[in-house]
Amino acid sequence: MIQAKQALLTALADAVAQVAPGTPYTPAFESPKQATHGDFAITAAMGLAKSQKRNPRELAGALVAALQAQPAVAQWVDALEIAGPGFINLRLKPAARQAVVAEVLAAGSQFGLRPANGRKLMCEFVSANPTGPLHVGHARQGALGDAVCRLYESQGWRVTREFYYNDAGVQIATLASSTQARLRGLQPGAAGWPENAYNGDYIADIAADFLARKTVHADDRQFTASGDPDDLDSIRQFAVAYLRHEQDLDLQAFGVQFQNYFLESSLYASGKVEATVAKLQAAGKTYEKDGALWLKSTDDGDDKDRVMRKSDGSYTYFVPDVAYHIDKWARGFDRVINFQGSDHHGTIARVRAGLQAAGVGIPRGWPDYVLNKMVMVMKGGQEVKISKRAGSYVTLRDLIEMTSRDAVRFFLISRKADTEFVFDVDLALKANDENPVFYVQYAHARICSVLAQYTARTGRHVDPGADLSLLTAPTETTLMLKLAAYPDMLASAAADVAPHDVAFYLRDLAAAFHSWYAAERFLIDDPALAAARMALLAATRQVLRNALGMMGVSAPDAMARDAAADTEAAA
């Protein structure tokens, strides 16, 4: 069907060129409002009518006549019908729908993917400061960011995943003082315990390993503790390395890998912060007031001017952010997407204002942002708020250990980033159709079961050359149309930065499969029909596996539910 659709789009472009020569037009099909109207809807006549000064229905008639003369239409189209003010409904021949089965089997894991396009994307996500374990908000960013990266890779982009973190500043100083207090025998709430200190048990773990003079290894650093409770610099460096290692373990458990880690301190060490300030001053975008240096950010869309350098000589946090994004721009990415919590909404305008003021050629509205709202975790009808290990929040690993990596990824991707999300632990553990990830994965496992039974009974495997013309049941037609929609769904989800579309698609595909499974039999005496249905099963399994992979979710071959019923239903 993919081949048929491309051929028909070319035919549509040729028909428009005949009916409206010289008129710019990008051929496109839309989905009819009702499935009974056909497989594709063409709205070209209504779009072109005004420029051609013709009645839309009359223009639609001319388009239908031109289309009927196209060889691709004769090969793949059963009917062309004009409806309403000028819609053209196109109904495919069964062979066009059935062709998708062979296309999927031939492409395998590459089905739906597009060739390299030479473009570069950088996604920055998670970007947690090394002051504690990753929480469920970081989990949502990790799931969303990684899924978007996979989507862009499917469309031929070269993708870099980047993790930016603050390895200096007030929070790191608090981390060091909290660890030092533990080293001196203090506990949260005791006299002398530092104000605003981190209270989780992980601080005690850091202190114990520091006293033991251990060496910690992280993806971007390693450090050996001095063991001296008075050596605050060693405590700071060890604590940062320790927590970077812990975050690496969190990310490994979640199946997320980064190509690059970027340190805020490197912006100061390399002189990029000072260079950025100099650019802004040279552009006349700053002024002095009350002993501080201000950015005229209102010139570029911010609601008020912002302090860049405080009266004590230190920089506010958005200045290294501007320097960091200038560095991103200089690295030549065609697109940059930042995934951040919704509490960072106020930083967008000031960072973009700083980038415009710097005058380095960055377009307005760059970079793109995806802001995610926090996640509420529920279990047994009660909100889960506190992790002993973290002290005040549910960690990413808590959530994985309570459920599974697959459930966490699927659930967190299945809603738009800017919507509130309640993670229901009890639902994630259910092994029935109420649990969306189980519902989808079980479709894959059920297909594996039937295919294994087929081979065991007949000694035959899936035949890519099976007679697909035998796939005429209504549920088969619905399923094949859903398979054919996969490549366009991927392209749209990537363009719209909408990984939740993959979750919606998977649920629809699984529903189409389960409906077919309930309506038909597979292990039957008719060898030709059985072979055709095995081919459709294998194609469905492949697309389920491909789409789950886009979410970083596994496609199990077997699952603990109703295995005996599968044997009965398939026969």
Q: 121 - beta bridge partners? A: 159, 335
3-state secondary structure of 512: helix
Q: Percentage of residues in the chain with pLDDT exceeding 70?
A: 97
Q: How far apart are CA 315 and CA 245, in angstroms?
A: 28
**What ranges make up the beta strands (E) of 101-141?**
120-124
pTM over 0.85: yes
- What pLDDT is stored for residue 422 in this prediction? 95
Most distant CA pair in the chain: distance in Å? Answer: 89
Q: If you write DSSP's letter for every residue of 147-202 in order, what string do you get?
A: HHHHHHHHTT-EEEEEEEE--SSHHHHHHHHHHHHHHTT--TTSTTPPTT---SHH
Backbone angles phi, psi at 371, to 5 degrees: -105, 125
CA torsion sign, 95 to 100 to 102 to 103? positive
Q: If you write DSSP's letter for every residue of 231-288 in order, what string do you get?
A: -HHHHHHHHHHHHHHHHHHHHHHHT---SEEEEHHHHHHTTHHHHHHHHHHHTT-EEE
- What pLDDT is stored for residue 33 in this prediction? 77
- What pLDDT is stored for residue 148 in this prediction? 98
Separation in Å, CA 498 to CA 152, 533, 550: 11, 33, 12
Q: How far apart are CA 337 and CA 9, in angstroms?
A: 32
- What pLDDT is stored for residue 223 in this prediction? 96
- What pLDDT is stored for residue 544 in this prediction? 98
Q: How far apart are CA 459 and CA 148, in angstroms?
A: 41
Give CA torsion, residues 158, 440, 464, 562, to 10 deg: 150
Looking at residue 108, the DSSP 8-state letter turns out to be: G
Query: Which CATH number describes the domain made up of 2-92?
Result: 3.30.1360.70
pLDDT in tens, 491-536: 999 999 999 999 999 999 999 999 999 999 999 999 999 999 999 9
Structure tokens at 571: 């026969």
Backbone angles phi, psi at 67, to 5 degrees: -65, -40
Cβ neighbors of 7 (< 8 A, separation 6 or more) are 72, 75, 76
**Which range has the worst mean pLDDT, 24-38, 327-341, 382-396?**
382-396
- What pLDDT is stored for residue 568 in this prediction? 46
Looking at residue 122, the DSSP 8-state letter turns out to be: E
Q: How far apart are CA 207 and CA 222, in angstroms?
A: 17
Structure tokens at 400: 């994985």
Looking at residue 522, the DSSP 8-state letter turns out to be: S
**Which range has the worst mean pLDDT, 48-57, 352-361, 396-405?**
48-57
- What pLDDT is stored for residue 391 in this prediction? 62
What letters, b where the CB count within 10 A reaches 16 and e where it falls short, cover 429-448?
A: eeeeeebbbbbbbbbbbbbb
Q: 81 - beta bridge partners? A: 89
pLDDT in tens, 413-454: 999 999 999 999 999 999 999 999 999 999 999 999 999 999
Q: Give the helix/strand (H/E) hosting 439.
A: helix 436-458
- What pLDDT is stored for residue 571 in this prediction? 61
Q: How far apart are CA 250 and CA 395, in angstroms?
A: 9
Looking at residue 230, the DSSP 8-state letter turns out to be: T
One of 1.10.40.60, 3.40.710.10, 3.40.630.30, 1.10.730.10 is the CATH number of 436-570, namely: 1.10.730.10
Q: How far apart are CA 468 and CA 462, in angstroms?
A: 12
Going from N- to C-terminal start, the domains of the chain cover: 2-92, 375-429, 436-570
Give CA torsion, residues 489, 490, 493, 496, to 10 deg: -100
Structure tokens at 310: 């405080």
Q: Report the candidate in 206, 203, 204, 228 with the shortest Cα–Cα distance to residue 216.
A: 206
Where helices occur in 403-435 by DSSP H, the ranges are: 405-413, 425-429
Banded pLDDT at 569 (limits 50, 70, 90): low
What is the CB-side half-sphere exposure of residue 383 using CA atoms within 13 A?
7
- What pLDDT is stored for residue 369 in this prediction? 96
- What pLDDT is stored for residue 562 in this prediction? 47
- Same fold for the pair 2-92 and 436-570: no
Q: Report the candidate in 285, 503, 526, 494 with the shortest Cα–Cα distance to residue 410.
A: 503
